[in-house]
Amino acid sequence: MHNQPEIIYDKQGNAHVIVDYNDDYIGAKLGFWLFLFTEMMIFGSMFLIYAFYMFQFSDTFVQYSATLNVKMGGTNTFILLVSALTMGLSLVRLRQGNVEGAKKFIWATIVLALIFLSIKYFEWSAEIHHGIYPGSPTLKSMGDGAVMFFGLYFVITGLHGIHIILGIGAMIWVLGLVRKGKITPTKFVVLENTALYWDLVHLVWVFVFPLFYLIH
Amino acid sequence: MELHQNEALHPIKASTYVTVFALLISLTVLTLVQPLVLKLALASTLSIQLGIAFMKAFLIVAYYMHIKSNTPLFRVLIYGSLAILGVIYIIMAIDTYYRYTPNDLFQLLQKEG
Amino acid sequence: MLEGMKGVSSFASEIDLAIWVVMGISIGIFIVVVGVMFYFLYTYRAKKDSREKIKNIEHNVYLEIAWTVIPTFLLAIMFYYGYTSLKVMREVPKETMDINVTGQMWFWTHEYANGKKTKDLYVPIGTNVKLNITANKNDVLHSYYVPAFRFKQDAVPGKMNTAWFNAKELGHFDIQCAEYCGTRHAYMRAKIHVIDKETFDTWYKSDKKTPFDQESVATTKHPGLELLESNGCLGCHSVDGSILVGPSYKDMFGHKVKVSVNGTLKEVIADEAYLKRAILEPDSEVVDGFSAGMMSSYKDVLTEKQIDDIIDYFKNGQNTPKEDIGAKATSILESNGCLGCHSVDGSILVGPSYKDMFGHKVKVSVNGTLKEVIADEAYLKRAILEPDSEVVDGFSAGMMSSYKGILSDSDIDIVIEYFKGL
Amino acid sequence: MNTFSHTSFYDKTHTVFGHHNSKILQWIFSIDHKRISLLYLFVMMGFFLVAVCLALSMRLELFSPGQDIMSPERYNQVFTLHGVIMIFLFIVPGIPAALGNFLLPLQIGARDVSFPRLNLLSWWVYVAGALLAISSLFVGDGFADTGWTFYAPYSIKTGTNVVWALGAAFILGLASILTGINFVVTIHRLRAPGMTFFKMPLFVWGLYSTAWIQILATPIVGISLVMVIFERVFGVGFFDPTKGGDPVLFEHMFWIYSHPAVYLMILPAFGIASEIIPTFCRKPIFGYHSIAVSSAMIAGIGYLVWGHHMFTSGISETIKLIFSVLTFFVAIPTGVKFFDWIATMYKASIEFKAPMIWAVGTFVTFIIGGLTGLILGTVGVDVYFHDTYFVVAHFHYTMLGGVAFLMFAGFHYWFPKITGRMYSEKHAKYAFFTVFVGFNLLWFPMFLAGAFGMPRRYFDYLPEFEIYHKFSGIGALIFATGIIYMLITLYRGWRYGELAGPNPWNATTLEWQIPSPPQLENFGTIPYVDFQPYEYINGEPVHKMDLGVKEGNKDA
């Protein structure tokens, strides 16, 4: 609305900029960080439930951790690592003025995220094929510890998967904004926030992976 | 004008990303290798794995998420929130630990007294 | 006031002291703070010249330190009493009589070390009693609350919580459920009966259901009915045809019932197979008019044999009059307070005894004139419904109120049937 | 409404989709924080009245022992609905989303909140949650009958529509988070130049602390409620004992949010008191810094005391004592606030206008509520009082006699700013006294009933308790009458009241330096704030400014 920043003067005559609420870069970023805090609390409380039952059923947790597919999980870890890099580089490219390069890196991230999801899909189908899914009779017969371990496994990785899907949605939306010229090398806060979101998704996986796949 | 403001806030370079990426990769390899090389008790495995995870988390938050180059405000808020989460964890840990010794405190007092 | 507001357990006096101390401190703070506030409000109300007298005081370090430190000190006292009162409640003595308490939807079960199971709790006076409180795994949270004993402990499904007490007085004290547990939460009541040691010991070794039973009723009851009682089924299902949360057991066996299976209504016959399903998978076929999810499966709770006993009760139990009626009638007489005035053993309390009453001649006064009647069914019915129309000679009118509307016709029939045998 | 000499926000607005001609669309799509606040206000008060009616029906049922007007099942649903509406639809959004939304930008000298569109979105999310909750009444077995606490495993077992109610609570939590994020960013970014944190009005401090609780605590309960939905839909089993889950864990997760939520409700209410007291005492507030800091302290410590709801649930003894200590620590900053307010009255010139009377009345009731809270924080004593009517009376004295009363005080205080008109002072005072008498008659007997062993959430009770329920029933009627009286008084003021002018109370904060009702974008000139929020000399404000938008200077 206001293209020129509004300025007022105090008694000593020093100039002070009035922050325009319609176009406030730091505000937008701060708001997004606050949103990330809520995500942090959500996953934080899921890990709290994990820790609670891990303490109670530690032997079972170790036992069933060994049955998870470390190869698939490990591959996914690397995929996410690379995707976080490509997402970061897209921001670097955009700020250097290279819009096309930025778009390419966003596409690369989307492709990596889709690969992540399909590996996850195969992993889950294998487990569901064996009759292991929340509420299944097989799982019930494996005992309380197994119910908790796989319950947590499906809920946390599922929640993480939903975040990946939302992230893909956000990136496609960002690409649309870039095409419409709403994201430019000087107006990049939406892309930066999306990158922050993607880093959080990665961050969660950094903890999910060892806690489920590597404690045996 | 605002662009200058932002540039001043956090200049970002591709080289930083690549360096951090290399560090993260090596840490990840470490986590994968650990169970193969060292067969440890659960507690030790957990502490090694979580230690590496926290190092990775620090790298991501500090460099990928630009906290290193942001204003102190962001840092204070993050540390504050993490501290609250941490205290909640500690309180829950105390309860979880003692839950299976009924009348924990008073039982201990009785034994001593 | 609730029965026994006076503290009865050995630690009640400590809890009461803590309550009085914290209440006293709170009331003191309230009077001082609100008193000062109203004094200021009155003294410094707006007057003509009050504007000039305003003093803009914005700090006073000493005052601020004082009102931080003094409350902290008072709070420390409160905490101390909180600690000591918790301590006495939680420090379980070494020598205890252990009783397992199970809460289930709307019923408490007390199980003694020798396997005795009761609805109410009977404990000897002056004994350390430790309660191991839990709820069935497929049940919900309850809370075992005995106001007179000043303690309360949640019954958590699958977890064992403990509480203890040492009752210092004889009497009957209410147990209520203090954690919301569904429809009949308010009716999840029972009593703790504190009795003397000898009575308790005699009863404990006997096969009597309760210490107050005149004779052992254990043999007179159908085993299926006992199971229904001790598993809390009667909290939701009646045996007399009245509808509680679930359908009544009366006239159920062999009759048609409308049930909804996955939303579609169909008619089935309540045979053995159906009843077994209803006990093990209650939600698979829900009787029309009742809601699913209210009853939990008794799969791991009842054994095959027990289920057979229960179904046998549905089949035959309700038609085995002699023994059954005795128990039923006793419970009717007990729960309606009849036995407070009339004995069954010939002793005279406030009213005539029930013993040797039926079929015998009684002298009654009708409107002041004496006449002799025979205590037959018609007479007894009149005596229950209009007690003052014919008053037995030697007793006074107006003592007993009519049981019209309180006892159902079938109840009265059972009671009269019972009188026949006395 | 064109009776005002200026173009107020009632006349002109901007919406999320540009400009509409339809008046209704101009309201429900408006991104002006003042309009959104009024949207919140009306929906919220509507639900408040519904919940009051539910409460009256419960009091009627309990008036005599035995079953009178409803079945136990219905009763359980009614108290659950009463709790859900009062907590999630009325008191949590209450002060922040309604009054806070209106006043936050005005008090810090901003033209709107940081994210106006997000603000509108949060209202829509709130309405969606409300609709979901209401629609579950008419589907299947009706509304949940679990109590607003949704304790597992009952919430997993019951046949009623728990999933819908949980979904509604989750969505309402989302609305609350969005408001919280918006407020924190607004306060950090949009304060007028020169206004440091310690030059902000105390209501803003209250909102700031609240917003942090909304951001950091709400997600925890949100995810716990989602877990219960998963239990019911997928059979996950985290809280289901038959699958090895632990119901006490749910209690932990639930109260980690729901206890801070109590402070979430009360902190902005304290902020309102801190605005009203200096204005009607005509002097600066005593101990500005300690009131401001104590808000933050209450919010901080308030996170760590949730366990005092669980003293009988079988948690460890050590943690009970830790929770008890922490609970007492929250009382100290709360006490300091009260002492500061009372000290402000010393050597003042106190005007007993309706807002001041509401505030003073609230002090009486809230101190009772707060002190009984201390009694309940004392571990051994709480074991006896837990889940009895004593607790019911306690939290109604704090939530209704504290939060809601201060909210009403705020309505009376900012009424001239919001509507531009005055209500009848006389009727407002009568309404207050009716409410006050009814309130105490309604709740005080419950302290006694609880102390003598009357558990809460009882459909029926032992005959010993009849007398208390009789008193409460009569009190409830008087209370409800008083509330209606108050609303009629305010309504008449809004329709027929005299014009109030920009600053009817002669107050100091920035919102009184612009016309009433405010214009779109609030301020024409934004001042450089190098002064404290409450500066008086001999009962007169030191700074008098005219900051309104000059007509004609700015066009659409």
List Cβ neighbours of B43 (8 Å cut-off, separation of 6 or more).
none
Q: What burial letters (b/e) apply to A30-42, b meaning 16+ CB within 10 Å?
A: bbbbbbbbbbbbb
Tell whether the model's pLDDT for residue C320 goes beyond 70.
Answer: no
Q: Enumerate the domain spans of chain C.
A: 12-90, 97-205, 223-319, 321-421
Q: Quick check: C270 and C288 in contact, CB under 8 A?
A: no
Task: Flag whether pLDDT at A32 surpasses 90.
Answer: yes
Higher-pLDDT residue of B102, A207: A207
Provide the β-strand partners of residue C107: C104
* Cβ–Cβ < 8 Å for D402, D362: yes
Instruction: Tell me if C223-319 shares its fold with C321-421.
Output: yes
Domain regions of chain A by residue span: 23-213
Beta-bridge mates of residue A18: A6
Q: What pLDDT was estimated at residue C287? A: 83
- Asked if residue C165 lies in contact with residue C7, where contact means CB atoms within 8 angstroms, the answer is no
A1-15, B19-33, D396-410, D506-520: range with lowest mean pLDDT: A1-15
- Secondary-structure percent of chain A, ordered helix, strand, coil, rounded to 5: 75, 5, 20
Residue A65 has pLDDT above 70, yes or no: yes
Q: Identify the pLDDT of residue C318.
A: 63
Residues 360-399 of C with CB under 8 A from D: none
pLDDT reported for residue D337: 93
Interface check B92 vs D, CB under 8 A: yes
* Cβ-defined contact of B98 to D307 (cutoff 8 Å): no
Residue A117 reports pLDDT greater than 80? yes
8 Å CB contact of C182 and D347: no
Task: Search chain D and give the residue with CA nearest A52.
Answer: D249
The verdict on domain A23-213 having CATH code 1.20.120.80 is yes
For residue D323, list chain B residues with Cβ-Cβ distance below 8 A.
Answer: 91
Ranges of H-type helices in C219-303: 223-230, 272-280
Which residues of chain D are within 8 Å of residue B92 when distances are taken between CB atoms? 252
Q: Rounded to whole angstroms, how far apart are CA atoms D398 and D402?
A: 5
Cα D501 to its chain centre, rounded Å, is: 28
What pLDDT sits at residue B73? 83
Residues 64-83 of C with CB under 8 A from D: 64, 67-68, 71-72, 75-76, 78-79, 81-83
For residue C364, report the phi and psi dihedrals to the nearest 5 degrees. -125, 155
pLDDT digit string (tens) for A167-205?
999 999 999 999 998 888 888 899 999 999 999 999 999
- Chain D residues with CB under 8 Å of C41 CB are 345, 350, 360
Write down the domain spans for chain D.
36-522
Residues of chain B with Cβ-Cβ distance to C92 below 8 Å are: 103
Contacts of A216 in chain B (CB under 8 A): 35, 45
Residue in B with minimal Cα distance to C163: B103
What is the number of other CB atoms lying within 10 angstroms of the CB of residue C407?
Answer: 19
pLDDT digit string, tens, across residues C142-178? 999 999 999 999 999 988 899 999 998 898 899 999 9
Q: What is the pLDDT of residue C30?
A: 95
Distance CA D325, CA D321 (A): 6
* Predicted pLDDT of residue B4: 40
Element (H, E) at C248: none
- C97-205, CATH topology level: Immunoglobulin-like (2.60.40)
Pairing of strands C97-104, C128-135: parallel
CB spacing of D193 vs A18 below 8 angstroms:
yes
- Quote the CATH superfamily of domain D36-522: Cytochrome c oxidase-like, subunit I domain (1.20.210.10)
Residue A133 has what pLDDT?
87
Q: Given CB atoms, is B101 within the 8 Å cutoff of chain C?
A: no
Residue at token pair 């299947």: D140
CATH superfamily of C223-319: Cytochrome c-like domain (1.10.760.10)
pLDDT at C362: 84
pLDDT of residue C337: 57
What average pLDDT values come out for chain D (556 residues) when binned by 10 residues?
75 81 87 94 94 94 88 90 93 91 94 93 95 88 88 86 91 94 94 93 94 91 91 88 89 90 92 95 93 90 90 89 92 93 93 94 94 92 92 94 94 94 94 96 93 90 90 95 96 92 92 91 89 90 86 53
Q: Which fold has domain C12-90?
A: Helix Hairpins (1.10.287)
Q: Per-residue confidence at B7, pLDDT binned at 50, 70, 90?
A: very low
Q: How far is D461 from chain C (nearest CA, A)?
A: 7
- Give the residue on B whose Cα is nearest the Cα of A59: B42
CB contact under 8 A, D238 and A9: no
The least confident of B105-109, C106-110, D24-28 is B105-109
Nearest to A178 by CA among A167, A190, A168: A190
Per the document, the length of chain C is 422
- Tell me: the pLDDT tens digits for C389-408? 888 887 766 556 667 766 77
Architecture category of domain C321-421 in CATH: Orthogonal Bundle (1.10)
Decide if A144 and D253 are in contact by the 8 Å CB cutoff: no
| Res. B3 pLDDT band, cuts 50 70 90 | very low
Touching partners of B (3+ C-beta pairs < 8 Å): A, C, D
- Which B residues, 4 through 23, put their C-beta within 8 Å of a C-beta on chain D? none
Q: Where are the beta strands (DSSP E) in C83-230?
A: 97-104, 107-112, 117-118, 121-124, 128-135, 142-146, 151-155, 161-166, 171-177, 190-195
* Region C203-223 average pLDDT: 70
Dihedral sign for Cα atoms in the order C125, C126, C127, C133: positive
In chain A, what residues touch D230 (CB-CB under 8 Å)? 134, 155
